[in-house]
Structure 1
Amino acid sequence: MNVSLPQSQQPYKVMAIYKFADLPDAEAIQPVLAAFCCSRGIKGTLILAPEGINGTVAGTTEAIDALADWLFAGPVFARRLEGAEVKYSKASAMPFLRMKVRLKPEIVTLRAPEANPARQVGTYVEPEDWNSLIERNDVVLVDTRNDYEVGLGTFQRALDPATKSFTEFKDYVAEHLDPKRDKKVAMFCTGGIRCEKASSYLLSQGFEEVFHLKGGILRYLEMVPESESRFSGECFVFDERVSVGHGLVEGEATLCRACRHPLTILDRAHADYIEGVSCPHCADEAGKHAAAAERQRQMELGRKHGVAHLGDAAATVAAERKAAKRALAEASRARNKA
């Protein structure tokens, strides 16, 4: 594999998808969907619930294209996924270890039955119109993601709810937002799905005008030139790429293998960072370190003897990409300036 290839020639195609749709037969669909993906070498996670589908998978271009045709035009979903929010990107190596199709009560967990995107949802804002909206003084801009995601990057002037999970967003709204004061609220998230529920929830609580970024940060980074961007940093993604930047080029972030917190370059330069064992975010959690240290020892032994370790896959991929990431980022910046 040549990891120095430009992004358009990377060998793996990544598909992120979500759609709020009526899927009362989600349980019956689960094994059929899993079999389709596994038979084509597709890996990743898809969540099925009575309210729809959500997830990210990767495979060869041919495999992902076949999956898209099957999802949108095949008999199993019977066109119920038409209009789904779908984003494609490329990866230099397979970003997932296995294929999982999970059944859950919700495709994004908020535990607020009054939030029903199929019934009411905020106003979608296209990426090219987002900057002019969020620069208005009468608009309150809220990042609906969790604290570890916000820590890698966010939009300028955005409020950080400092949540550990999306279910806490309801508490943030109750404590910090007021429908009588905050007449216009704009929200964003990684791919748009959390904002659909969040906007529906705010409307149910009496907020008058609620906007959300269509396609989320990922679509914005794909469509808006870096020279015009109001997004600072990198966007956390839920796979072994860890983060992406403008043009959806793989970012510089890595994961702490003890606590799974994303790490910036500064985090990895911190005195509390020990590769595979601890980081500044979990330095005081001694219980995690022993297991992490043993896993790291097994990985290093495996490397020494030329034997692959299951937990080594992500670390190996990260190491192989390291040099390529910077070159790809530079190429992306050059293209945006051209």
Structure 2
Amino acid sequence: MSSTANTANFVNIAAYKFVTLDDLDALRPQYQALCNELGLRGTILLTPEGINMFLSGSREHIDQFLAWVRSDARLADLEWKESLSSEQSHKRMLVKIKKEIITMRMPLIKPELGRAPSVDPKTLKRWLDQGHDDEGVPVVMMETRNAFEVDVGTFNNTLDYRIEKFTEFPEVAAQHKDELAGKTVVTFCTGGIRCEKAAIHMKNIGYERVFQLDGGILKYFEEVGGDHYTGDCFVFDYRTALNPKLEPTETVQCFACRAVVTPRQQLSPDYVVGKSCPHCAGKAAPAQEAAEPAGNAAGR
């Protein structure tokens, strides 16, 4: 484990589960009260199709929270991914009720009723090492994240269709189905949510061989490291990006336009902390009020 991890005071967890939750109005104040009591910070999304969360706190308090969550029979098998940091990765605590864990606007997709096939990180690494799956079929990696996230880092030779929001993915998948015939397609995302929905949709429209990367990039980093991956992984919190050792990097987000600014771009005279970056300098765009990053990409 790195020296950064050895001196870290906070545990960051990303977790989700697709399961029917029909008591959202009752759950929300319970979650909010416990998180406040334990000093946790982050975001929890409660939806009719399940729960999604990214939280930061002390080891003791994170463990207390997870034990409480799993005392709900519907969430007894909840799994999560962890990383460590010297500061809490979120600045406030939000518990929200939403329509979907991640917006896709495809109501026929119900992961709770059956997942698409998945591949674990170690098996995927072996497939990528050998260039094909265990049946000899060529493996193709497919992005389900937004373009600005991909630009921070992704798997080598991946299919990146430069989508701007996840609701664009179904159309993109349909457009490219024929050209991917005879390939094993592995969808992936940050933490597993988007690639799970994506793989189910692809099965529904006729893809013959499609798998989701179980646990997403963060689980791959945790179990495998950075093999076959170039760059870092964007996360929607104040760390902005994690390297394959799950350590925060020097990548930041611009206060004014929220664009990702790499360490090299931070050397530009157009990068003024709190005011502008090379993406927005000179453009007529009002500075945005500092706010908790939207959504929960670390669990996506």
Distance 1:244 1:37 in 2: 24
Q: Distance in 2 between matches of 1:26 and 1:133?
A: 41
Q: Do 1:148 and 1:262's aligned partners in 2 also have CA atoms closer than 8 Å?
A: yes
Residue 159 of structure 1 aligns with an amino acid whose one-letter code is L
State the partner residue of 2:296: none
Identify the residue that residue 240 of structure 1 maps to in structure 2.
238
2:109 equivalent to 1:115: yes
Match of 1:317? none
Are 2:100 and 1:90 aligned?
A: no
Q: Is residue 120–residue 214 contact of structure 2 (8 Å, CA) maintained in 1?
A: yes
Q: Which of 112, 119, 125 in structure 2 is aligned with 1:131?
A: 125
Cα RMSD (Å) of the superposition?
2.2
Match of 1:141 in 2: 141
Deviations 1:199-237 (A, max 9, x none): 1111111111211111111011111144xx111100011
Residue 6 of structure 1: SS of its match in structure 2? helix
SS at match of 2:230: strand
Q: In the TM superposition, what is the alpha-carbon distance from 1:103 to its structure 2 partner?
A: 0.3
Residues 107-129 of structure 1, C-alpha deviation per residue, up to 9 Å, x if partnerless?
11101112221223222111111
**Counterparts of 2:145 and 2:217 in 1: how far apart (Å)?**
11
- What letter matches 1:190 in structure 2? T
- Kept in 2: contact 1:127–1:220 (CA 8 A): yes
User: Which consecutive residues of structure 2, in runs of 5 or more, have no partner in the other structure?
Assistant: 294-300
Equivalences for residues 1-338 of structure 1 within 5 A: 6-73=4-71, 78-134=72-128, 135-136=131-132, 138-178=138-178, 181=181, 183-226=183-226, 229-283=227-281, 285-288=283-286, 291=287
Where in structure 1 do 4 or more consecutive aligned residues deviate above 3 Å? 311-314
Unaligned runs of 5+ in 1: 296-310, 315-338
Using a 3 Å threshold, how does the CA distance of structure 1 residues 62 and 265 change in structure 2: closer, same or farther? same
For 1:326, the equivalent position in structure 2 comes to none
Q: Which has the larger radius of gyration?
A: 1
CA distance in 2, matches of 1:18, 1:171: 25
The one-letter code of the counterpart of 2:98 is: K
User: In 2, distance between residues paired with 1:120 and 1:285?
Assistant: 47
Determine if contact 2:266/2:277 at 8 Å carries over to the other structure.
yes
Equivalent-residue separation in structure 2 for 1:313 and 1:203 (angstroms): 35
Return the TM-score normalized by structure 1.
Answer: 0.79
Q: For 1:178 and 1:105, locate their aligned partners in 2 and report how far apart those are by CA, in whole Å.
A: 32
Sort the Cα spacing of 1:124 and 1:313 in 2 relative to 1 into closer, same or farther, 3 A: closer
Q: Relative contact order, CA 8 A, sep 6+: which one is greater?
A: 2
CA distance, structure 1, for counterparts of residue 139 and residue 122 of structure 2: 17
Counterpart amino acid of residue 223 in structure 1? E
Q: Distance in 2 between matches of 1:312 and 1:53?
A: 22
**Alpha-carbon displacement from aligned partner over 1:309-334 (angstroms, at most 9, x marks no partner):** xx5999xxxxxxxxxxxxxxxxxxxx
Q: Shift in Å at residue 179 of structure 1? A: 7.9
Sequence identity, in percent? 39
Give CA-to-partner distance per residue, 1:134-157, whole Å, 9 cap, x none: 432623310111111100000001
Q: Quick check: 1:85–1:215 contact (8 Å CA) kept in 2? A: no
CA shift, 1:176, in A, is: 2.6
Does the Cα contact within 8 Å between 2:141 and 2:159 map onto a contact in 1? yes
Give the CA deviation at 1:61: 1.1
Alpha-carbon shift at residue 183 of structure 1 (Å):
4.6
